[in-house]
Amino acid sequence: MNPLRIERPETLAAALALLMNENTRPLAGGTDLLIERRRAPFAADETWVALSDLRELKEIEIKDGFWHIGPLVTHAELAKHKQLRHVASFLPEGASLVGSPQIREQGTIGGNIANAASCADTVPPLIALNAELAYQSVKRKRRVALSDFFLAPYKTILQHDELITDIYFPSPPPTARTSFLKLGRRQALAISRVSVAVLVTGNDVLDDVRISVGSALPRYGRLSEAEDIVKNLPPSQERFKQAGRAGSAEVIHTAGRRWSTDYKEPVLTALISRALCIACDIPWK
Ligand SMILES: Cc1cc2nc3c(=O)[nH]c(=O)nc-3n(C[C@H](O)[C@H](O)[C@H](O)COP(=O)(O)OP(=O)(O)OC[C@H]3O[C@@H](n4cnc5c(N)ncnc54)[C@H](O)[C@@H]3O)c2cc1C
């Protein structure tokens, strides 16, 4: 068996230079990478580029009305971030439901995004926040809307020599309220079977409504038909149920009917309407 080499660059420039070589992979917390590579033998010159010393990728800050989250921020750090809990609680909530305490201490938001599983728990909230990514190689720097970053489950537009360097989104308005619901096979250490993230703004009338789902669509996205049912109207449980049915139908229309549809259809209907009720602080029955 070939030995695996691990490089630990001290600067972003050095990390990017290492990634120019074939058979290199960025290593963040390793919670996905180690699982992915545990069966296949390593290539002769396979090298993992550990990002752990790149302090500039570990910050959370607000600048000019935008939140910036470094890709190396761990789920545990996100989950306990007080200010984020205040302005966009569904993102820390999503992070707090990832795996187990050990996985949350180790796993990062950048790894969660780059791995591109359809059940990634930080992605639906980020899509609802209209998040964008900055990513770069030695040769160029680019930006992309997170919704355009994913091509298919486990496939993104990222080239092998590129690193995500920033995850950012506009600070939600003061009236914004959010919710995140995840349904797994069990209470702890559960991968999402379906998840729903909701952001609403406005009080008497909902002037903006964003609903995004995980483990449901071929590519991450929002449910615009469900959003339109509740937008520019006062919050009401009846209308939220209608939006739940429309959202579920929208998912089936996009993803097609498959073996899991009989299960997911009523579950999505309920999760969407319940997530809307929670965000608007009205009872769900
Ligand atoms: C037991 C267990 C339970 C889990 N439960 C959940 C769960 O409930 N919900 C959930 O969403 N996930 C879960 N996961 C998956 C995993 O923990 C997360 O996806 C985690 O966020 C991955 O981050 P990481 O830092 O460990 O990434 P790594 O494993 O280091 O990397 C993952 C991928 O991203 C690439 N990468 C990492 N950082 C960058 C970067 N900055 N730029 C470009 N590419 C990069 C790597 O090369 C690799 O391809 C679980 C995993 C395990 C093992």
* DSSP codes, 157-178: S--TT-EEEEEEEEPPPTT-EE
Phi, psi values for residue 11, rounded to 5°: -130, 160
DSSP state of 108: B
d(CA 75, CA 69): 11
Instruction: Report CA(34)–ligand 1 centroid distance (Å).
Output: 9
Of the candidates 14, 6, 13, the one whose C-alpha atom is nearest the C-alpha of residue 49 is 6
d(CA 74, CA 77): 5
Residues 140 and 114 in one domain: yes
- Pairing between β-strand 47-50 and β-strand 60-63 as defined by DSSP bridges: unpaired
Q: Is 146 in the pocket of ligand 1 (CB under 6 A)?
A: no
Residues 164 and 185 in one domain: no
Query: Do 228 and 242 touch, CB atoms closer than 8 A?
Result: no
Last residue of a domain, one of 105, 137, 170: 170
Q: Which atom of ligand 1 is nearest to the CA of 158?
A: 43
Residues 73 and 15 in one domain: no
pLDDT at 273: 97
**What sign for the dihedral angle of Cα 42, 102, 27, 94?**
positive
d(CA 18, CA 279): 45
| 12: three-class secondary structure by DSSP | helix
Q: Quote the percentage of the chain above a pLDDT of 70.
A: 97
Instruction: Report CA(27)–ligand 1 centroid distance (Å).
Output: 9
Last residue of a domain, one of 155, 170, 185: 170
pLDDT at 255: 84
Q: Considering the domain boundaries, does residue 284 fall inside one?
A: no
Q: Is 108 in the pocket of ligand 1 (CB under 6 A)?
A: yes
Q: Considering the domain boundaries, does residue 285 fall inside one?
A: no
Instruction: Report CA(201)–ligand 1 centroid distance (Å).
Output: 31
Residues 229 and 148 in one domain: no
Residues 182 and 164 in one domain: no
Which H helix or E strand runs over 66?
strand 66-69
Q: Is 145 in the pocket of ligand 1 (CB under 6 A)?
A: no
Number of domains in the chain: 3
Contacts of 63 by beta carbon, 8 Å cutoff, 6+ apart: none
For tokens 């963040």, what's the residue? 28
Phi, psi values for residue 193, rounded to 5°: -85, -35
Instruction: Report CA(33)–ligand 1 centroid distance (Å).
Output: 7
Residue 6 tokens read as 């691990």
Q: In CATH, what number is assigned to the domain containing residue 30?
A: 3.30.43
Boundaries of domain holding 25: 5-50
In tens, the pLDDT along 170-213 reads: 999 999 999 999 987 666 666 778 999 999 999 899 999 999 99
Residue 158 neighbours by CB distance under 10 Å? 20
pLDDT at 185: 65
Residues 162 and 261 in one domain: no
Contacts of 260 by beta carbon, 8 Å cutoff, 6+ apart: none
Last residue of a domain, one of 140, 155, 170: 170
pLDDT at 260: 79
Residues 99 and 65 in one domain: yes
Q: Is 29 in the pocket of ligand 1 (CB under 6 A)?
A: yes
pLDDT at 191: 74
DSSP state of 55: G
Q: Is 183 in the pocket of ligand 1 (CB under 6 A)?
A: no
Q: Considering the domain boundaries, does residue 134 fall inside one?
A: yes
d(CA 200, CA 179): 9
- Pairing between β-strand 60-63 and β-strand 24-27 as defined by DSSP bridges: unpaired
Query: Do 150 and 3 touch, CB atoms closer than 8 A?
Result: no
pLDDT at 43: 82
> Which residues of the chain fall below pLDDT 70?
1-2, 185-190
Instruction: Report CA(265)–ligand 1 centroid distance (Å).
Output: 28
pLDDT at 190: 67
